[in-house]
Amino acid sequence: MPEDNAAIKQEIKEELAEERKQAEPEVRKAASKRRSKSASAAAAQQTGAQFIYDKILLFDKYPYEVEVADLSLKNYINLTPKAYPQTYRHFSQKKFSKANINIVERLENSLMRGGTGGKVSGRVIRTEGRLQGKKLKTMHIMEQAFDKVSKSTGKNPLQVLVMALENSAPIEDTTRVRYGGIVSNVAVDISASRRLDIALRNMAMATVIGAFANKKSMVDALANELILAANNDVNSYAIKRKNEVERMARSAK
């Protein structure tokens, strides 16, 4: 009896092994079909998402196909496609959160400066906070300025903005160092994040100064500053400030 049971078990094992061999090709074909279907679906979904991503235009007019030549600024000039860039700075408490904000929105935020009454270029600028907190107004100023830049240059104004920031971002600066009781200025290199911050601040300041006590509007002042800075013109306020900062750094070496 035990020998008969062993023989029966052996026969059952052999039959199951034969069935598995016959079923393996069909199982493999079904698995390969499932993988190919999932891969094609993922590819189609990615292609559709990329198509939608590429179709987004700034202000529904200007493409985001922009080249950043300055490699140090490339990681901080954010060009995430958005028709009307607006994040409300939800992640402002996180480190390096500025790098995740669209560069157009960062310039809009720089324009919303308060009326500090500080003396700039020999003049006291008192704007009385007319743009402070007025994001929609600064967005309209940016859109109209971009329209003027596009008509004047025939180029993508977003590319003009990137070129202006690259040209007006200083490379060196000075800092005050105390040795004992002696205080002296020492030349230091500037990080890429601070370079971009300074360029945006000077661009916004140039816009305010150009329209202050002048018949020129902020739209015209911003468009003019963008064109001058993109051409590396010495008449640009941002370029003047950059040259002045770098000259002081060279003299402090």
- Here the tokens at position 21 are 């061999």
CA distances in angstroms from 30 to 24, 25, 27, 46, 199, listed in the order given: 10, 9, 5, 24, 59
pLDDT in tens, 60-72: 999 999 999 999 9
pLDDT (mean) for 105-116: 80
Instruction: Give pLDDT, residue 51.
Output: 46
End-to-end CA distance of the chain: 102
pLDDT at 158 over 80: yes
Pairing of strands 123-124, 119-120: antiparallel
Say whether pLDDT at 49 is over 50. no
With 80 as the cut, is the pLDDT of residue 11 above it?
A: no
What's residue 215's pLDDT? 84
The burial of 136, by beta-carbon neighbours within 10 Å (0-12 exposed, 13-18 middle, 19 or more buried), is given as: exposed
d(CA 41, CA 52): 17
> Tens of pLDDT along 202-247?
999 899 888 877 788 999 999 999 999 999 999 999 999 999 999 9
Mean pLDDT of the chain: 82
Q: What integer pLDDT is reported at residue 164 of this predicted model?
A: 96
**Looking at residues 132-154, what average pLDDT do you find?**
92
Q: How confident is the model at residue 97 (pLDDT cuts 50, 70, 90)?
A: confident
What is the pLDDT at residue 156?
A: 94
Look at residue 88 in the predicted model and tell me its pLDDT: 77
Whether the Cβ atoms of residue 105 and residue 128 lie closer than 8 Å to each other: no
Kindly tell me if the per-residue pLDDT of 150 is higher than 80: yes
Whether residue 14 is predicted with pLDDT greater than 50 in this model: the reply is yes
Please give the average per-residue pLDDT across 91-112, as a whole number. Answer: 87
